[in-house]
């Protein structure tokens, strides 16, 4: 399989703060790949390095075999980068922004029109509106159109849906699926767990480290292997009792139930008896289906320890 992105042992420090720590990552050509992690995880730092805008302290990153440091000029033609937060010129109109990006890359809008049409069509109704006056969802569509204007082979999208309403978020992901069908490799970061399921593979990142890589389904089924639901009359007491049981690794509130991450040898029937002996009532403990959220809780907790 062809590698689109290859990152080897990459680290980046800001002063003494290590924003990225020994990152290894491979993304295949044509993949829709998600970088999932909370605020401060290191997502934007990784994007800036891939977009050739920031130098790593050690290790290397290459895209389509081009090194982000050595070959940055050639590489910039191949990547469409959408930084986090709105990056366009707020005082320029929709049309002016698009023209600006086209001239920056020395291309004509009409030559890329087939590619941007599904994204741009909704903006065509108001070419003279200032970018700053657009809604959040429309701003993102304009930014994506601008990132596509030079027909990049890979899109680097850093939290494109943050602060965008739910309907526009959904539309945005549908547009990405269409672009994916046109063989564009897409690397998209998000801190919304539900969006992880939209990706073919994801990397979970926290505190500058990649914690897991795989399909969302694989990662979720792996966590589901030792996961249980627990309910009882007094949920708060139940939570505190479960947390101190030696066969339980972690326990946390999950919707209207508790989720137990069990160690080997955990016996739900025995745990129920123990809890009843302590006076807890209405206890029920049964296997739970894992969720991407469970994975995330596990990974972030492990890091704290």
Interface with ligand ADP by CB under 6 A: which residues?
14, 17, 19, 37, 39-45
Q: Is 84 in the site for Mg ion (CB under 5 A)?
A: yes
Nearer to ligand ADP, 44 or 140 (CB): 44
Q: Is 161 in the site for Mg ion (CB under 5 A)?
A: no
Nearer to Mg ion, 44 or 68 (CB): 44
Which of 44, 52, 190, 206 contacts Mg ion by CB under 5 A?
A: 44
> How many Cβ atoms sit within 10 Å of the Cβ of residue 302?
12
Q: In whole angstroms, how close is the CB of 133 to ligand ADP at the nearest point?
A: 27
Q: How many residues contact Mg ion, by CB under 5 A?
A: 3
Nearer to Mg ion, 88 or 102 (CB): 88
The answer to whether the beta carbons of residues 258 and 281 sit under 8 Å apart is: no
Q: How far apart are the first and last CA of the chain?
A: 37
Q: In whole angstroms, how close is the CB of 71 to ligand ADP at the nearest point?
A: 23
Nearer to ligand ADP, 25 or 285 (CB): 25
Nearer to Mg ion, 8 or 84 (CB): 84
Q: Is 40 in the site for Mg ion (CB under 5 A)?
A: no
Q: Is 38 in the site for Mg ion (CB under 5 A)?
A: no
């Amino acid at each position: 399989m062809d590698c689109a992105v290859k990152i080897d042992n990459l680290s980046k420090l800001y002063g003494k703060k290590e924003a990225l720590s020994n990152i290894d990552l491979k993304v295949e050509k044509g993949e829709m790949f998600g970088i999932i992690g909370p605020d401060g995880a290191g997502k934007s730092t990784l994007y800036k390095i891939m977009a050739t805008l920031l130098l790593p302290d050690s290790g290397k990153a290459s895209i389509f075999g081009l090194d982000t440091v050595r070959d940055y000029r050639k590489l910039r033609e191949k990547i469409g980068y959408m930084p986090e937060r709105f990056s366009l010129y707020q005082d320029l109109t929709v049309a002016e922004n698009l023209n600006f990006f086209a001239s920056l890359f020395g291309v004509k809008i009409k030559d890329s029109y087939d590619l941007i049409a599904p994204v741009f069509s909704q903006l065509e109704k108001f070419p003279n509106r200032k970018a700053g006056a657009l809604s959040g969802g429309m701003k993102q569509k304009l930014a994506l159109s601008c990132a596509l204007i030079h027909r990049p082979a890979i899109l680097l999208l850093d939290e494109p849906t943050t602060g965008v309403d739910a309907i526009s978020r959904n539309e945005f992901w549908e547009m990405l699926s269409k672009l994916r069908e046109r063989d564009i490799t897409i690397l998209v970061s998000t801190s919304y767990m539900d969006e992880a399921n939209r990706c073919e593979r994801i990397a979970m990142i926290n505190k500058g480290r990649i914690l897991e890589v795989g399909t969302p389904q694989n990662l979720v089924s792996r966590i589901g292997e030792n996961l249980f639901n627990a309910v009882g009359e007094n949920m708060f007491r139940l939570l505190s009792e479960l947390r101190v049981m030696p066969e339980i690794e972690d326990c946390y509130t999950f919707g209207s139930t508790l989720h137990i991450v069990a160690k080997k040898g955990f016996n739900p029937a025995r745990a129920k008896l123990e809890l009843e002996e302590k006076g807890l009532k209405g206890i029920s403990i049964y296997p739970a289906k894992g969720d991407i959220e469970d994975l995330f809780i596990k990974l972030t907790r492990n890091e704290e320890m």
